[in-house]
């Protein structure tokens, strides 16, 4: 099974711009690239809109409709739940409950649990007891290999602005995650960088953004800026050995292909 993961689209409404980053145009490029590689589905791990408006979601949904594979979304801190419900097709956001936009996808090889980690008062996210209980129930319902996808990473990635404060309720989430060995990946966004770390014995991957790369320096705390970069995304494959293989694609800063010899 082949899964493309895109994140942090930050699409603005038609006629508006987001600084120097052509986010909608970048998303169009990524959609075309993904279509060429024919995944089975596409996960969109939040910050779909830049300011949470319905018009932004509608524009993003229109571009994502160009995907040949089905796509599924979860909310980021720049999104609002109401706008996502209004602007996204129901098939892309099959959340049943009203309090949060979490949902489960039962696929032949895998289960995917979209966990809504947003809170209007917590830019770096929050997992409340209700969502932890929902996750526990879903994880207990099936022992099929399971991917969790959520916007906010549950651990600090040495990115000052997203580490302080860290995800609220990470301890509650961690207690649930630690119990279930069939979680094969936790896929996140939020930090606008590709990064990986083990947490509670599970590999957490954060996806890069649509060309709005965090200006990150491991020696600096001054990180509230971004670099205009190639739009990039992750590719996860569940192979015949039962492993999840993750690759990262970056679109524009390459030439070739060239032969090795
Ligand atoms: Fe973002």
- The topology (CATH level 3) of 2-250 is Purple Acid Phosphatase; chain A, domain 2 (3.60.21)
Decide if 230 contacts 30 (C-beta within 8 A): no
In angstroms, what is the span from residue 8 Cα to ligand 1's centroid?
Answer: 4
Q: Please name which of 85, 107, 179, 199 lies closest in space to residue 137, comparing C-alpha atoms.
A: 179
The per-residue pLDDT for range 49-86, each reduced to its tens digit, is 999 999 999 999 999 999 999 999 999 999 999 999 99
Strands 2-6 and 226-238: antiparallel
Decide if 89 contacts 59 (C-beta within 8 A): no
d(C-alpha 221, C-alpha 17), whole Å: 27
Percentage of the chain modeled with pLDDT above 70: 99
In angstroms, what is the span from residue 72 Cα to ligand 1's centroid?
Answer: 17
In angstroms, what is the span from residue 157 Cα to ligand 1's centroid?
Answer: 15
In angstroms, what is the span from residue 140 Cα to ligand 1's centroid?
Answer: 31
pLDDT at residue number 100: 93
In angstroms, what is the span from residue 190 Cα to ligand 1's centroid?
Answer: 5
pLDDT band at 223 (very low <50, low <70, confident <90, very high): low
- Given CA atoms 38, 231, 233, 127 in this order, what sign does their dihedral have? negative
């Amino acid at each position: 099974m082949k899964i493309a993961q895109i994140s942090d689209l930050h699409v603005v409404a038609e006629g508006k711009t987001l600084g120097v980053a052509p986010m909608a145009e970048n998303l169009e490029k990524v959609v075309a690239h993904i279509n060429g590689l024919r995944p089975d589905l596409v996960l969109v791990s939040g910050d779909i809109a830049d300011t949470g408006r319905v018009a932004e979601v509608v524009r993003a949904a229109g571009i994502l409709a160009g995907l040949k594979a089905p796509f599924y979304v979860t909310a980021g801190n720049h999104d609002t739940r109401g706008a996502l419900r209004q602007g996204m097709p129901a098939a892309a956001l099959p959340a049943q409950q009203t309090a949060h936009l979490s949902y489960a996808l039962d696929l032949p090889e895998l289960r995917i649990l979209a966990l809504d980690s947003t809170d209007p008062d917590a830019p770096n996210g929050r997992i409340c007891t209700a969502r932890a209980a929902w996750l526990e129930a879903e994880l207990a319902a099936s022992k099929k290999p399971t991917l969790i996808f959520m916007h906010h990473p549950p651990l600090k990635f040495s990115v000052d602005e997203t580490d302080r404060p860290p995800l609220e309720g990470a301890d509650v989430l961690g207690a649930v995650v630690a119990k279930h060995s069939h979680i094969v990946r936790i896929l996140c966004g939020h930090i606008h960088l590709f990064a990986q770390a083990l947490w509670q014995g599970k590999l957490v991957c954060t996806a890069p953004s649509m060309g709005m790369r965090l200006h990150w320096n491991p020696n600096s705390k001054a990180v509230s800026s971004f670099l205009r970069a190639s739009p990039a995304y992750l590719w996860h494959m569940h192979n015949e050995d039962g492993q999840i293989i993750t690759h990262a694609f970056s679109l524009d800063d390459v030439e070739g292909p060239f032969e090795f010899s």
